[in-house]
Structure 1
Amino acid sequence: MPSYSHHRTRSDHASEVAEDYVEAIAESIAENGICRAVDLVRQFDVTHATVNNTISRLQRDGLVLTEPYQPISLTPKGKRMATKARQRHEIVREFLLRLGVSENTATIDSEGIEHHVSDETLKAMKRILKNGLPPAS
């Protein structure tokens, strides 16, 4: 029987692509006013078919709205997911920077860690960012 940690890791992987895509869509809309499939093709360095398949899954899951040859928009559920993913990403990135990790490495590492960090660990990171490390016992 698989352990809880392996089950959670598999579950995290399942939501990783959705989180990355809704976060990218939100960023594109914020920066350019719209998000098109080609923007995601460029950002993720994947084929149009990959983007179209992923967008279809996101639409099925109620995260995005789109029509053929039209921009992609986020549903309220997609916006909530994008906001949560962005916040997690920023907390992890800022925490790594606080540890002395270079900006480039912190940016790259936070992209993967954000999907797997538990709520407990994320709260601890936020607490340390706000208050610093507690005194050693």
Structure 2
Amino acid sequence: MADKSPSSQPPRTTAAVEDYLERIRELIQKKGYARVVDIAAELKISQASVTTMIQRLDAEGLVKYEKYRGMVLTTAGEEVAKRIAHRHELLTNFLRQFGIDETVIAHDVEGMEHHVSPETFSAIEALSRYLTANPTVVAKIKKDL
């Protein structure tokens, strides 16, 4: 069982913070860098709003931001971004097993990834592993949908 001491827990974050960190990580992976203008375009919000949030993330130690240059994730920011990316991928793959429309999955996962408790997420993860190992169970469930 994992150590549950406070020092091993990632920082507590809001859905908005997680969305920003997830987008920053995706942009860095895709383009090699992340800038305010790119994040604003991805999230469809103003550059001023993005700048305000990036300054907050910098103050909280989740990103290292240099005005007019861009940003990088700190170790803590990368941890949160990886956790959210893992949740996103697992929930997406879990729902895909049932043949749910991709547009519906994308919409639902955006909300679920931020609001599912660690305990429920662990249960979904275990169920997903079971279903992957037992495709006949998935086929039976699909018939009932």
Question: TM-score normalized by structure 1?
Answer: 0.83
Q: Distance in 2 between matches of 1:94 and 1:120?
A: 19
Q: Distance in 1 between matches of 2:120 and 2:94?
A: 11
- Compare 87-96 and 43-52 and name the one that shifted more: 87-96
Q: What is the percentage of aligned positions where both structures have the same residue?
A: 36
Structure 1 match to 2:129: 130
Structure 2 match to 1:56: 55
Question: What root-mean-square deviation, in Å, do the aligned CA atoms of Structure 1 and Structure 2 show?
Answer: 1.4
Q: Distance in 1 between matches of 2:120 and 2:102?
A: 21
Shift of 1:100: 2.8
Q: Determine if contact 1:40/1:51 at 8 Å carries over to the other structure.
A: yes
Runs of 4+ residues over 3 Å off in structure 1:
none
| Matched residue SS, 1:100 | coil
Q: Determine if contact 1:91/1:122 at 8 Å carries over to the other structure.
A: no
Structure 2 match to 1:27: 26
Q: Distance in 2 between matches of 1:119 and 1:97?
A: 21
Q: Distance in 1 between matches of 2:16 and 2:59?
A: 14
Q: Can you list the C-alpha shifts for 1:5-24, whole angstroms capped at 9, x where unaligned?
A: xxxxxxx8x61111110110
1:52-91 correspondence to structure 2 within 5 Å = 52-91=51-90
Question: TM-score normalized by structure 2?
Answer: 0.79
1:87-98 correspondence to structure 2 within 5 Å = 87-98=86-97
Q: Can you list the C-alpha shifts for 1:79-133, whole angstroms capped at 9, x where unaligned?
A: 0000001011111111222233211211121011100011121111111211126
